Homo-oligomer: A and B are copies of this chain.
Amino acid sequence: MKTQIERIEQALTGFLPAGDDGIRTVIESMKYSLTAGGKRVRPVLVLEFAKLCGGTEDAAMPFACAIEMIHTYSLIHDDLPCMDDDDMRRGKPTNHKVFGEAAAVLGGDALLTLAFETVLSEKAAELNGYEKCARAGRLLASCAGAEGMIGGQIIDLESEGKSVSADHLRRMDALKTGALIRAACLLGCISAGASDEQMKAAEKYADCIGLAFQIVDDMLDVTSDEATLGKPIGSDAENNKSTYVALLGLDVCRSLVSELTDGAIAALSVFGSGTDILSDLAKALRDRQN
């Protein structure tokens, strides 16, 4: 998986525009966050589901890069002072701390735009054909938009300081983080021309690891330390944020994560062999420390 991540990071940089001096700031803003050491979970999901469904890594790579661009833009905008107002991300100053708010807004906008340029690029069309590229772009937009990730973020902002139910939290996360993870798994399927049965299994896997991912996030905010996590801990409690841990307790969270991980791995059975990386990924997300 390490060489795969290197290939993803190389491809990501390759899709960045060269630009000239006049627009240097926005390109640097994009590049800073795109190369700030993300876990690359979403692009790996794209590539692995593509291969499982009989496609190739090469063809799926533009889709993989696009989803990481969207994930990255969402982090830049979420960290803004008017949103979550975070100074640190992955152990580094957040984008607006380095480039200022204007360049952070524009760098995020530009990454979101570049995601669609990448999905619809000549290279993507050569390898996948226009129909798959268009369907991939449509799916990406619907998962990232007002009824997907952005909707989740507004629910999150409006839930601040309110006590909400676990169901509310679950719906919020299904949009805020779940939608993009689902998009990642399905983009791989689209690139490979997967069957309906394969698409359904990919969705099931995505929904399980998506929710598990979020519960683990809440757990780490309580159980980890700042050096390991790369950002301040205890911020959820400090912000009076309703979390799975606060609502259900650590023990229930732990067994939920364990069940969801098992569910994700079980969903992979329709693919037969070759699912090791995806089942390892589900376990790694369960056991992660940051």
Interface residues of A (CB under 8 A from B): 17, 19, 22-23, 25-27, 30, 73, 77, 80, 82-83, 100-103, 105-106, 108-110, 112-114, 116-117, 120-122, 125, 130-131, 133-135, 137-138, 140-142, 144-147, 150-151, 153-155, 157-158, 171-172, 175
Contact indicator B130/A134 (Cβ below 8 Å): yes
If A105-B82, A114-B141 touch, whether A25 touches B120 (CB-CB below 8 Å) is: no
> Given the interface contacts A106-B153, A146-B27, does A137 sit within 8 Å of B116 by beta carbon?
yes
Give bound CA distance, A155 to B138, whole Å: 31
A145 and B158 contact, Cβ closer than 8 Å, known pairs A109-B77, A130-B134: no
Q: B154 and A138: CB pair below 8 A? A: no
In the assembly, what is the distance between CA of A100 and CA of B160, in Å?
15
Q: A77 CA to B82 CA in the complex, in Å?
A: 13
Q: Which 7 pairs, one residue from A and one from B, show the smallest C-beta to C-beta distance? A: A82-B101, A117-B141, A23-B151, A113-B145, A120-B138, A110-B146, A130-B131
- Whether the Cβ atoms of A138 and B153 lie closer than 8 Å is no
Q: Tell me the smallest distance from the CB of A79 to a CB of chain B, in Å.
A: 11
Which of B83, B100, B114 is in CB contact (< 8 Å) with A146? B114
Is there contact, CB below 8 Å, between A155 and B83?
A: no
Option from B27, B108, B125, B145 in Cβ contact (under 8 Å) with A17: B145
Copies in the complex: 2
Residues of B within 8 A of A23 (CB): 146-147, 150-151, 154-155, 175
In the complex, the answer to whether B145 meets A117 with C-beta atoms within 8 Å is: yes
Residue contacts A-B, CB under 8 angstroms, 25 given: A17-B146, A19-B146, A19-B151, A22-B154, A22-B171, A23-B146, A23-B154, A23-B155, A26-B146, A26-B154, A73-B109, A82-B102, A82-B105, A102-B157, A109-B109, A109-B112, A113-B150, A114-B146, A116-B141, A117-B138, A120-B135, A120-B137, A120-B138, A122-B138, A130-B134
- Chain B residues positioned under 8 Å from A101 (CB to CB): 82
Separation of A29 and B166 alpha carbons in the complex (Å): 27
Cα–Cα distance between A116 and B147 once the two chains are bound (Å) = 14
A30–B147 Cα distance when bound, in Å, is 12
Task: List the B side residues contacting A112 at CB < 8 Å.
Answer: 109, 112-113
